[in-house]
Amino acid sequence: MKSYITTPIYYVNGSPHIGHAFTSIMADILKRNRQALGHELMLSTGVDEHGQKNQEAAADLGMPVGEFLDMRCNEFRNVFDRLGVAYDYFVRTSREGHKTAVAGMEQSIFDRDLIVKKNYTGTYCKGCEEFKKESDLTEDGQCPLHPTMKVEQTEETNYFLKMEPFRERLLQHIADNPEFVQPEAFRNELKQMLAEPLDDLCISRPKTRVTLGIELPFDTDFVTYVWFDALANYLTNIGWPEAGYEDWWAECEHMIGKDILKPHGVYWPIMLMAAGLPLPKKLSVHSHWVGAGGVKMSKSIGNVVDPIEVIEKLGVDALRWYLARHMRADSDSQISVEFITQTYNTELGNKIGNLLSRAAKFSKARFDGKLPAPGPLTAEDEAIRKAVVEAVKGMGDWVNLADIPARMQAIITVADEMNNYFAEQAPWDLIKNEETRERCQTVIYVTLDSLRVVMEALTQVIPGSAGKALSMLNAPEVASPWKPELDRLTGDSDLGEIETLFPRVQ
Ligand code: MSP
C-alpha cells in the first residue's frame, strides 16, 4: 500500500519558524506511523519560491534573486534535516520540470475555456498574495492575517479561472467523503466558504508588478499567480503529467494550517476539476501555535520560539515531543521555550529517561552487565505489561494528525504506571535476599522489556532518542509491520552502554 504525505511548501521571504517546523515534523511522524503499518511512503516538503513577497525579500537584502533563493532553500533544507524530517522529496518551485508542468496545466484549462481575461480593481494583500473582498478585511481595512503588511489598492488586467461552475460538485464531494477534510470543525468552515457563489480566481500577475513566477503559456506579459503554481507542486513532485504518479496521487494526504484552508479546500480542488484530474484523498488541518497566555508570537513582544534555538538548548526530541504532545486539534496551542523545557524535564526526563537509566544501571551493576532472565510472572507484572501494550497499541494503528496528542498522553500515563510499579516492587530490596533474587530479576526484566515496547512506539515520534534507548537495551530491530509485542528482549543478554537520554536542563 502506498501513502503520499505532503506539507505546505513554505515562502522563503524569512527564515524557517516554528509553524514550518511543526507541520513538517507532524508529517514526519505520520510518515513513520504509516511505515510502521508497512506502507510504502512518499513525504514531500520544501519551498515556495515565487511571488511578490519573495521577490521583495531578495530586493530588500540587495541580492540577485537566484542567489537569494538558493540561500533560503539551503537554510530550509538544513533546518528540516536537523529536525529529523525524513522527507523523500524536497520541493523547489523554481525547478524546470515543475514550471513546464504548471504551464501545461494552465494551457489545458485555458483550452477548456475556463480562463477569462478581464480588468479588476481591488484590494491586495501581499501576505496572502491574494485579492481581498471588503468583507475579508478588518474594521480598519487591513488583512486580519497580516495586519502590519498594509493592503494595497490595485487596478489590473489579469486572467481569471471560473470557479462557480465547480462549486456544487465540490460541495457534493465533501458531503460524499466525510474523510476529505479533517477535523470536522474545518470541514464546516470549508462548507461555509462554499455556501455563496464563488468569484472567479485571479491566476495571473502582470510582469510590471511581479516577475518572479512562471510565465503564462498563453500570454507572456504575465506570470502565474503564486498559489496556482505552488499548489501544483503536489502533483509535479510525483512526476505528473508523466505516467506513474497515479498510485501515489490516489493516496495523497495534505497537511495544512488553518490559515491556508481556502487555497487547499477551494482553489486546489477546483483547479484539479478544471484540469480533469481527481482530487486528493484528504486534507488534514491543524490550528496554530501562539505564545504563552495565548498571545500571538512576535519579535516585538519577544515571545517567538525559534526551532533552532530550542534544539540547540534541549535537543531535537524535546521540540518534537512538545509539538506532538501539546498540539490541540481545533483551537490554538501555546508554546514557549519555558514550556518546552518543563515538559522535557518532567516527562521525557523524569518519567521515561530516568526510569530507563535507573533500571538499566541497576541491572548492569547487579547482574554482571546483563539483563536478567525473568522467573514466573505475578499479577502485578501481568497488569503493567497489559497496560503498556494497551497504551501504545494506537501507534500500531493508523494515526490521524489530530490523534497524535491523545496517543502521546496514553504513553505518558502508562509511564507513570511503570514508575509506580518499579517503586512498589522495589528491586533494590529484593536483591538483598537470595530467596527474592529471582523476583528481582523478573521485576527488572518486566520493567526494561516494557520500556522497550514504549521506545519502539516512540521511534515514530522521537526517533533519535528512542533509537538510542533501544540500542542501550540491545533490543532487536523494530519489526515492520509493527505491533506492540512483549518479550522481545532476551534474558541473560548483555546490555549496551547506559547514557542519560534526556539530561536535565535548567
Ligand atoms: N507558501 C504557502 C503555502 C503553499 S502550499 C501549496 C504558505 N507558506 S508559509 O510559509 O506561510 O507557511 C505556511 C504554513 O505554516 C501553514 O501550514 C501555516 O499554517 C503554518 N504556520 C505558520 N504559522 C504558524 C503557527 N504559528 N503555528 C502553526 N503553524 C503555522 O502559506
What is the 3 state secondary structure string of 276-302?
CCCCCCEEEEECCEECHHHCCCCCCCC
- Please choose, from the candidates 155, 159, 169, the residue with its C-alpha nearest in 3D space to the C-alpha of residue 120: 155
Q: How many CA atoms lie within 13 A of 421 on its CB side?
A: 30
**pLDDT tens digits for range 369-387:** 999 999 999 999 999 999 9
Residue 149: per-residue pLDDT: 84
With the most atoms of ligand 1 within 8 angstroms of its CB, the residue from 76, 253, 256, 260 to mutate is 260
DSSP-assigned letter for residue 165: G
- Please choose, from the candidates 321, 328, 289, the residue with its C-alpha nearest in 3D space to the C-alpha of residue 306: 289
Please tell me the pTM assigned to this model: 0.96
Distance separating alpha carbons of residues 85 and 24, to the nearest angstrom: 7
Region label for 321, one of left (φ > 0), alpha (ψ between -120 and 50) or beta (otherwise): alpha
Inter-residue contact 347 to 458 (CB < 8 Å)? no
Q: Per this entry, what is the length of the chain? A: 506
**pLDDT tens digits for range 80-133:** 999 999 999 999 999 999 999 999 999 999 999 999 999 988 898 888 888 888
- From 2, 126, 132, 146, the catalytic residue: 146
Inter-residue contact 174 to 181 (CB < 8 Å)? yes
Q: Is the pLDDT of residue 164 over 80?
A: yes
Q: Regarding beta strands 2-11 and 40-48, do their DSSP bridges make them parallel or antiparallel, or are they unpaired?
A: parallel
Share of the chain above pLDDT 90, in %: 91
Mean pLDDT of the chain: 96
Q: Which residue puts its alpha carbon closest to atom 9 of ligand 1?
A: 10
299 is catalytic: yes
Region label for 487, one of left (φ > 0), alpha (ψ between -120 and 50) or beta (otherwise): left
**pLDDT tens digits for range 128-155:** 888 888 888 998 889 988 888 889 998 8
Q: Is the pLDDT of residue 330 over 80?
A: no
Q: Regarding beta strands 252-257 and 2-11, do their DSSP bridges make them parallel or antiparallel, or are they unpaired?
A: parallel
Question: What's the average model confidence in pLDDT over 420-435?
Answer: 98
Distance 283 CA to ligand 1 centre (A): 14
Distance 129 CA to ligand 1 centre (A): 13
**pLDDT tens digits for range 245-284:** 999 999 999 999 999 999 999 999 999 999 999 999 999 9
Distance separating alpha carbons of residues 13 and 233, to the nearest angstrom: 19
Distance separating alpha carbons of residues 414 and 89, to the nearest angstrom: 36
All three cell numbers of 418: 511503570
Residue 299: per-residue pLDDT: 86
- Please choose, from the candidates 338, 337, 334, the residue with its C-alpha nearest in 3D space to the C-alpha of residue 290: 334
Helix/strand/coil (H/E/C) assignment for every residue in 376-432: CCCHHHHHHHHHHHHHHHHHHCCCCHHHHHHHHHHHHHHHHHHHHHHHHHCHHHHCC
All three cell numbers of 222: 504575465
- Of 88-102, 143-157, 321-335, 484-498, which range is least confident? 143-157
* 374, amino acid identity: P
Residue 451: per-residue pLDDT: 98
C-beta of 22 in contact with ligand 1 (< 6 A)? yes
With the most atoms of ligand 1 within 8 angstroms of its CB, the residue from 11, 69, 297, 319 to mutate is 11
For residue 76, the Cα-to-chain-centroid distance in whole angstroms is 15
* Ligand 1 nearest-atom number relative to CA 13: 10
128 is catalytic: yes
Residue 413: per-residue pLDDT: 98
Distance 240 CA to ligand 1 centre (A): 24
**pLDDT tens digits for range 210-243:** 999 999 999 999 999 999 999 999 999 999 999 9
146 is catalytic: yes
Inter-residue contact 120 to 155 (CB < 8 Å)? yes
Distance 227 CA to ligand 1 centre (A): 13
At a CB cut-off of 8 Å and minimum separation 6, what does 94 contact?
Answer: 49, 50, 69
Distance 419 CA to ligand 1 centre (A): 39
Residue 116 β-bridge partners: 160
C-beta of 23 in contact with ligand 1 (< 6 A)? yes
Distance separating alpha carbons of residues 321 and 113, to the nearest angstrom: 50
At a CB cut-off of 8 Å and minimum separation 6, what does 497 contact?
Answer: 472
C-beta of 204 in contact with ligand 1 (< 6 A)? no
Question: What's the average model confidence in pLDDT over 56-79?
Answer: 96
20 is catalytic: yes
C-beta of 26 in contact with ligand 1 (< 6 A)? no
Residue 135: per-residue pLDDT: 85
Buried b (16+ CB within 10 A) or exposed e, 196-235: eebebbbbbbebeebebbbbbbebeebbbbbbbbbbbbbb
DSSP-assigned letter for residue 142: -
All three cell numbers of 494: 548483555
286 is catalytic: no
Distance 259 CA to ligand 1 centre (A): 7
Question: What's the average model confidence in pLDDT over 32-58?
Answer: 96
All three cell numbers of 487: 518479550
